[in-house]
Amino acid sequence: MKTQKKLDQIAAEADRSRNWIINEAIDQYLDVYAWQEERIRERLKKAEKGGKFLTKDQVSDVIESFKP
């Protein structure tokens, strides 16, 4: 019920139907999913060709550098 109320609120604010909001959300999700899948495939191809990547330690160092 909580989700339905949120959808109704968004639909009212956007002056759209609940179905329109749901379809728009699904379309956006599918677009993002397709984009992510394509990037993953590209990176896997690059890795298989011996492309340059950071080591695990280098990635950890980068992550640590962002911590306060």
Query: Is the predicted pLDDT of residue 23 greater than 90, yes or no?
Result: yes
Average of per-residue pLDDT across 1-16: 95
Concatenated DSSP letters for 25-57? Answer: HHHHHHHHHHHHHHHHHHHHHHHHTT-----HH
Against a cut of 0.75, is the pTM above it? Answer: no
With 0-12 / 13-18 / 19 or more C-beta atoms within 10 angstroms meaning exposed / middle / buried, residue 22 is middle
pLDDT band at 47 (very low <50, low <70, confident <90, very high): confident
3-class DSSP state of 17: coil
Range of the domain at 58: 2-66
What's the structural domain count of the chain?
1
Position 49 scores a pLDDT of: 87
